[in-house]
Structure 1
Amino acid sequence: MVAQKGKDLLLKAHDGAGFVTVAGLRSKRLSFNAQTVDVTDAESVGRWRELLGGAGVQRAALSGAGLFKDQASDALVRGAFFAGDILAWQVVIPDFGTVSGPFQVTALEYAGSHDGELTFEIALESAGALSFAVL
């Protein structure tokens, strides 16, 4: 994969009719994590830690920061946060693929100074199985 433009990484939320891009995000991040299950015992070779494959909990976290540029995406994100709704989300990674699945908005922060624009930060946590589709 060659270098890609960061602006091409898109965060989309399902609004009931289809996926819409969350407008105004200047930075976005997707991370995957998996817990490990340690099964080391007194007979482990050389006393090296042993892990049980496929047994840990997997999770993904999404985050972004920027400014809302349209009222529809602002209302969708804000509504999902305050209702505690789990929505279908997509992350489009250019020349790689699309990660899709249920996420819950776990943080929503607004900030602004008297001589600047209103900005926001959003954090989402996976709430079920995710899928990956190659572009």
Structure 2
Amino acid sequence: MGAQRGKDLLLKMAGTAGFETVAGLRSRRLTFNAQTVDVTDGESAGRWRELLGGAGVRRASVTGAGLFKDQASDAQVRSAFFAGEIADWQVVIPDFGTVTAPFQITALDYGGNHDGEVTFEIALESAGAVSFAAL
């Protein structure tokens, strides 16, 4: 896989017409994490740490920043945040695949300078199974 344009990494939220791109994102990041379960004991070889495979909690996090370009996506995101809703989201990674999962918005920040546009930052945490489909 060669270099890809960052603007082609898309964040989409499930809506009435299927998954719709959250408008105006200038940056976005998808992160996968897995907790480890340490099973080291006094008999571990050389006292090296041992981990229990497949036992930790896995999660996905999504962050993004930009500006809302339409009232519909702004209202949909804001509504989901204030309702504490867990909604289906997709992250489209160009020439790689699509990650789909239920996420909850854990942070929604608005900001702006006196001589600029209103911007926002969003953070989501996975709230269920994460699936991947190759493109």
User: Shorter-chain TM-score: what band?
Assistant: over 0.9
Where does residue 57 of structure 2 map in the other structure? Answer: 57
Give the RMSD, CA atoms, in angstroms: 0.6
1:99: which partner in 2?
Answer: 99
Q: Which residue of 2 aligns with 1:87?
A: 87
Figure out how many residues of one structure are paired with residues of the other and give that number.
Answer: 135
TM-score where L is the length of structure 1: 0.99
The runs of 5 or more residues in structure 1 that have no matched partner are: none
Q: What 5-or-longer segments of structure 2 have no aligned partner? A: none
Match of 2:22 in 1: 22
SS for the counterpart of 2:46 is: helix
C-alpha separation between the residues in 1 aligned to 2:92 and 2:17?
A: 18
Matches within 5 A, 1:1-135: 1-135=1-135
Supply the distance in 1 between the matched residues of 2:130 and 2:22 (Cα, whole angstroms). 19
User: Which TM-score applies when normalising by structure 2?
Assistant: 0.99
CA deviation map 1:75-98 (0-9, x unaligned): 110000000000000000000000
CA positional deviation for 1:100: 0.1
Q: How far off its partner does 1:114 sit?
A: 1.7
* Overall identity of the aligned pairs, in %: 79
SS in 2 for 1:7: helix
Deviation of 1:17 (Å): 3.1
